Each structure stands twice: as structure tokens, then as C-alpha cells.
Amino acid sequence: MAQDSCNNTINNNFDDLHKPLNLQQAIAESGRCLYCYDAPCIQACPTSIDIPTFIHQIRSENTIGAANTILTQNIMGGTCARVCPTEVLCEEACVLNTSIDQPIEIGLLQRHAVDHLMKNTKKHPFERAKNSGQSVAVVGAGPAGLACAHRASMLGHDVTVFEAKEKSGGLNEYGLAAYKMVNDFAQDETDFILDIGGIKVIHNQRLGDNLNLENLQNNYDAVFIGVGLSSTWSLDLDNECTEGVMDAVDFIESIRQTKDKSQVEVGNDVIVIGAGNTAIDAAVQAKRLGAENVTLVYRRGEEQMSATGWEVNLARTNGVSIKLWSAPKRIIADGHVAQMEFVKTKTKGGKLVETNFTYTLEADMVLKAIGQKLELDDLNGIDVERGKIVVDENYQSSIEGVFAGGDAIDCGEDLTVQAVEDGKQAAHAINSFLGGDS
């Protein structure tokens, strides 16, 4: 009994972080929207969703119309509504962001509309154009790949998606915090996207392994690479392979792939190294799994953290302690990680330098969240710069007919919403390349 209730508590910890709005709340919130002209929120959205229009549609109880407005620009409007850092995108741009008011809850309203459509309509909202007789290979079934596949199919091309993992969705399925993507939403959304037809997905197909770029070029009229960043940076410390030290992305993946969260193993003294949203997702989830102490350690200051202020606050309110200006020095292990030593850092002449002060933290679990990188070996011949595939303004790589988008290219923001925009725009570029109207 006691164990059951403890397990329930843990699973409850992974309920929706933001409760969805009901109809009444959505209409009330939409009523606050000023319906700005040439609204700043639209410009702040990487996919340029016509936000005032969809909010106006929610207010007029045309919820399906609102969802169509969203999905026309962003086929993953459902995921983006859940995981976008709206506080630095649309909601930051909202003109109600004044000392006497607060921005419209755009993310929650978007979720309300898209969820309503996905739940209540049987028919996919978009139709395919007349079949072009041309084929597109998409590598990676993450946000960029699926967005590209959907738009390419809509434009009349037959699409085959090759995905390395067993399930589609990419980071939506494997890499986002569980309390942001409850009830298997990534799979529901994938099914919804594929409902347009004309898209075949083949799983367990990995570039450089059982998949070859040259073959794809030969067998398809165009190729889109949306492989994301599949490997991680290492700390370059001794004992990094010792038990208890793991990549934060693997930890998050295991949480996402385990239905009963109480079965996920977590340490008692957890150290998370890094300062991005992945680090926050790992730290907060470790805490919610029941870790006694979770410490997030970053070698620079709070201002340099790439996680948004909102995420950093989320970590703090979840009881994560944040240690800044500390660089990992040593992993102390005895068959299993036991402690970690850090050296205090500071900036000197604009450069980060180590000081003489060191300290040690107890640790039975260390989660590394210091960044991911592109698997370069798989991309025979494509121009790569600073670890990313080089593309022109039409998302075309150095190889003609091979396009790329998402985290694999340097597009500024490593956000789901940016990957969706890349995939969508690349599909239009591919369409032009194949001789269609752009």
C-alpha cells in the first residue's frame, strides 16, 4: 500500500506541467487579446502563426478554424504549444507585457485549439496536391523531418522517412521532459501528421549504418536531412564511463520510454552538469523522481545560461540547487560514482579561467548535459562548418538535391518550432527544385 501510494505520487509528479484550458477559460483568455494589427507576436513566432487571428477564432467559438490557422503554419502546433519557450517568443512580444498587465497565454490557447481539432475531427485538415510523380527521402522523423515530409506530401510528392529509432518523433518522443508531453502526445501527433497520406516511415534506418546517402540520392528525386544531433560532448575526465555517470539525454529518454515513472532509476545525490533546457529537464525530472539532492552545476554565471529564465525558475521551485562558476574537475569513483570535484571559475579579460578554489559534492548519479553534436561520419562529402551542415538560403546543402534543416544546420535557435519551420521551408525549396511552384 505504502509503496503503491509512493509510486502514484511519483507518477503524479509527471502530470501536465501546465493544465490545459477548458472552453470557458479559453474564451475568457482569448477575450483579453487586443487583436493587434500586424501583431508583434506573429513576428516573434519562428513559424509565423497568425496568432491574433487564431485567438479571435477561439473567441468566436470557431475552435477548428483556430486550429487550422495554427496548423497551416506549423503542423506541430500541438507540441510547440506545450514546449515552446513562449516567454522569449510570442508571449514576450505581446503588447500586454506591461507593468500593469500580463501577456496573453498564447501557448495554452494554441494547445486548446489544436487538441480540440485532434480530438474531435476524424478528417485530416489538409489535402494533398495532385501527385507530382516525384519522390522525396527524409532522413530523421523528428520535428524537422516530419514537418518537411508533411509539407512535401501536401505539395504532391511521395515521401519516405527513414528513422534511426524505433519510434517517430525525434526529440518530441525521446528528448523533452515528460510533464510537457503527457499521454503519449508525440505519437498521437505523428499519427495525425501522417494522416495526410503519401508518407511512408521506415524505422531503424540509420545513416552511415544501414542507410547510405548516395543510395538515397540515386533512388529519390530529393533528399532532406533532419537527423538532429545524435551524439554528445564529453567532459574529458577520468572515470567518465563509470557507473552512475550518464548523458542527460539518455536519462530523459529512459523517463519518456518508461510508462510507470516510479520504475526509472534515479540517484539520491544527483549532479547535473550544464545550463541549457536539457539540463533543466534532467534536473527537475530527477527531483520529481524522488532524488533527495539535485545540484545543477554550470561553469559560468546565470546570465550565460542558455535555459530561459522561466526554466531556471522552474528548477529552483522544484528544489534544484544551482551552483554557478564551477567547472568539473574530477569524477571520484569506486566502481560507482561517489563524488565530483569542481573548481571555481571566474572571467578574466573576458575569458573563463579557473581559480584555486575547489570543492567536492557527493554524487551517486551524474547527468551530463553539456551539449549534443552532429554525427559527422555519416555525412560523406557534405560541407560542414562548426559542426553543422552548411546550407544555402534554400536549405540546400553543398550537394545538389540534398537539403537539410533542424538542429543539423546552424539556424540560430535549437527549438522544436525552428526545426518545424526549417522542415516546412525546405519542403517548399525542394518543391521548387523539383520544378513545382514554390
Partner 1 sequence: MDIRSKPSLKCNVAGIESINPFWLASAPPTDKYINVVRAFEAGWGGVVWKTLGEDPAVVNVSSRYGVHKNRGNIVGINNIELISDRPLQTNLDEIIRVRKEWPDRVIIGSMMAVIEERAWKELAVKIAETGVQGIELNLGCPHGMCERGMGSAIGQVPEMVEKVTRWVKEVVDIPVFTKLTPNITNILWSAEAAQKGGCDAVALINTVNSITSVDLDLMAPTPTVGDQGTHGGYCGAAVKPIALNMVAEITRNHDTKDLNISAIGGIETWKDAAEFIALGAVGLQVCTAAMLYGFRIVDDMIAGLTGWMEEKGYQTIEDFRGKAVGNTVDWNNLDMNFDTKALIDQDSCIECGRCHIACEDTSHQAITFDVADNGKRIFTVIDDECVGCNLCQIVCPVPECIDMVPVDNGLEYMNWTNNPLNPMNN
Residues that bind partner 1 (CB under 8 A): 27-28, 31, 34-40, 59, 95-96, 98
Least distance (Å) between residue 101 CB and partner 1 = 8
| Contact in structure between 150 and 193 (CB atoms under 8 Å) | yes
Q: Which is nearer to partner 1, 17 or 96 (CB)?
A: 96
Closest contact distance (angstroms) between CB of 48 and partner 1 is: 17
**Which residue is associated with the grid cell 518523433?**
169
Least CB distance to partner 1 at residue 91 (A): 14
Q: How far is the CB of 65 from partner 1 (least distance, A)?
A: 16
Q: Which residue has the cell 495554427?
A: 70
CB atoms within 10 A of CB 60: 12
CA-closest candidate to residue 410, choices 381, 383, 385:
385
Q: Measured from the CB atom, is 28 or 182 closer to partner 1?
A: 28
H or E stretch at 131:
none
Query: Nearest-CA neighbor of 271 among 370, 367, 369?
Result: 367
Distance CA 51, CA 107 (A): 10
Report the residue number, 32 or 300, with the smaller CB distance to partner 1: 32
d(CA 56, CA 88): 22
Strand partners, 45: none
Quick one: 59 or 111, whose CB is closer to partner 1? Answer: 59
Residues 6+ apart with CB under 8 A from 437: 431
> What strands lie across the sheet with 337-348, from one edge to the other?
326-333, 337-348, 351-362
Q: Closer to partner 1 by CB, 29 or 422: give it.
A: 29
Question: Which of 39, 367 has the CB closer to partner 1?
Answer: 39
Phi, psi at 423, each rounded to 5°: -60, -45
Residue number, 42 or 291, with CB nearest to partner 1: 42
For 204-262, where are the alpha helices, taking DSSP H only?
213-219, 248-257
Minimum CB distance to partner 1 smaller for 61 or for 191: 61
Residues pairing with 294 in the sheet: 270
The residue among 81, 90, 72 whose CA lies nearest residue 36 is 90
Q: How far is the CB of 14 from partner 1 (least distance, A)?
A: 34
Cα separation of the two ends of the chain: 61
Q: Is 216 helix (H, G, I), strand (E, B) or coil?
A: helix
Considering the complex, state which of residue 101 and residue 191 has its C-beta at the smaller distance from partner 1: 101
* Rounded least distance, CB 63 to partner 1, Å: 15
Shortest Å, Cβ 362 to partner 1: 48
Contacts of 160 (CB under 8 A, 6+ apart): 135, 136, 137, 138, 199, 200, 201, 202, 220
